[in-house]
Amino acid sequence: MHSEYVERQYPPLPEIRTVGIVGAGQMGSGIAQVAAMHGFSVRLVDISEDQLRQALAKIDYYLSRSVARGRLAEADKQAALARIATGQAIEFLKDCEIVIEAATEDERIKNEIFSALCPVLRPDAILATNTSSISVTRLAAKTDRPERFIGMHFMNPVPVMKLVEIIRAITTSQETYEAVCALARKLGKVTVTAEDFPAFIVNRILLPMINEAVYTLYEGVGTVESIDTAMRLGANHPMGPLELADFIGLDTCLAVMQVLYEGLADSKYRPCPLLVKYVEAGWLGRKTKRGFYDYRGEKPVPTR
């Protein structure tokens, strides 16, 4: 016996004026900064008051740097900061026309957020996820608005990187897709549309390269420094793959590789055992001051 799919009747899409963001980490604070800079009201929510404080301090720091470099007027900086309001309760997002979930790359946590969020959201609001690898269709199916659910994958660091990957769930309506593409352009971003397959476009290509660099280290083909120097100077990459892994976070790299490995069942996506070991040790890269490099001194030093 199969259950028949019934399309819900939605109210018309609203004009997006207030952007809600769940998660005040690196990605969430970056999205908040960009949205505020482009004239949107921002509601930034995180369960940690300390995380919210850090996010505001980070945004203030980056905007102040732009003022010091003559790229931004002080008045514009103050106006942008004034557009950002923070809170710890999910109810704080009830008036947003779109909410972007930017929590940790863990499907269980994301689903918990959506089940708390859906009852308080406006019935006409769009729900977006900044997931870098998880099935958008599967996440959408757990919400009360699968037609108004979409993947909006920003690149890190958000204020610098121009790209947003737009990922349609099977259920995403055309009008939701068009509204989110238009929003991304208003945020000064360029969009590419990716099909809803594991890790989408950027991470499908980038993370196996990073994983292969870890294998190259694991097998003793090169040292941390030689691998990074080789790719910077031999392939013209701005950052070596192991340095980049530290920047992304080794836990995130591992999570994406696991999604690829499980989702595509191909041994070429098997996470390198050395990457697993670093994550088990809690050496997650820059955010924990140790990864493939040790960041506790004046300059980064390779850890192997």
With a pLDDT cut of 90, the percent of the chain lying above it is 95
Answer whether residue 1 shows pLDDT above 50.
no
Fold of 18-194: Rossmann fold (3.40.50)
Average pLDDT over residues 147-172: 97
Chain segment 72-110, per-residue pLDDT in tens:
999 999 999 999 999 999 999 999 999 999 998 899 999
Structural contact between residues 169 and 137, judged by C-beta atoms closer than 8 angstroms: yes
DSSP secondary structure letter of residue 292: S
Answer whether residue 50 shows pLDDT above 50.
yes
Angstrom distances, CA of residue 186 to CA of 35, 87, 162, 180, 288:
9, 25, 12, 10, 34
In terms of Cβ atoms closer than 10 Å to its own Cβ (0-12, 13-18, 19+), residue 273 is exposed
Between CA 25 and CA 61 the distance in angstroms is 15
* Domain edges within the chain: 18-194, 203-294
Structural contact between residues 152 and 184, judged by C-beta atoms closer than 8 angstroms: yes
Average pLDDT over residues 32-40: 98
Between CA 303 and CA 300 the distance in angstroms is 9
For the residues of 31-96, what is the DSSP string, one character each? HHHHHHHTT-EEEEE-S-HHHHHHHHHHHHHHHHHHHHTTSS-HHHHHHHHHTEEEESSGGGGTT-
Read off the amino acid at residue 256. V
Between CA 26 and CA 251 the distance in angstroms is 14
Q: Is residue 153 within a helix (H) or strand (E), and if so which, with residue range?
A: strand 149-154
User: From the centroid of its chain, how far is CA 56?
Assistant: 18
CATH number of 203-294: 1.10.1040.10
Chain segment 249-291, per-residue pLDDT in tens:
999 999 999 999 999 999 999 999 999 999 999 999 999 999 9
Report the catalytic residues. 132, 153, 165, 203
